[in-house]
Amino acid sequence: MGHRSLSPLGRLTNNATELHAHQVLRFLYESCVGPAGGPDAPVTLHEISSAIRLSSNLARVACRFLTRRHLALKRGSLRRYSYHITSEGVLYVESSGKRDTPVSGESRRRST
């Protein structure tokens, strides 16, 4: 069997894409509810990848994962997209009960 990882949201993930998506969602959540953020705080792909130390390609795949599940929203033009957490995304993070760990921290790997 493959590896399962504990995400920054405190949820077990089945693959790397899901793990990265949880990292991105956590960052979007903090950008939305943090002191400098707001519900419509735009976050670019570059800002996401820099903040969580993830390549642009992996961040893009994670954002696509989130938008397909309606946990994040992609807005903008071809030259400048930004991402926003949806109300469903906020509920998903808050229902995890694990909002106090740092977003850039490494997850623990578990073998199943």
**Residues whose CB is less than 8 angstroms from the CB of residue 50 and which lie 6 or more positions away in sequence, other chains included:** none
**Residue 103 pLDDT:** 46
Distance CA 51, CA 32 (A): 14
Tokens standing for residue 107 = 């997850």
Please report the domains of the chain, with CATH numbers, ordered by start residue.
3-95 (1.10.10.10)
pLDDT of residue 102: 46
SS3 percent helix, strand, coil of the chain, rounded to 5, is 45, 20, 40
pLDDT digits (tens, 9 = 90+) for 51-104: 999 999 999 999 999 999 999 999 987 778 899 999 999 999 999 875 554 444
Three-state secondary-structure class, residue 38:
coil
pTM exceeds 0.75 for this model: yes
Question: For 34-55, how does the pLDDT look when each residue is reduced to its tens digit (9 = 90+)?
Answer: 776 676 677 999 999 999 999 9
User: What type of residue sits at position 65?
Assistant: F
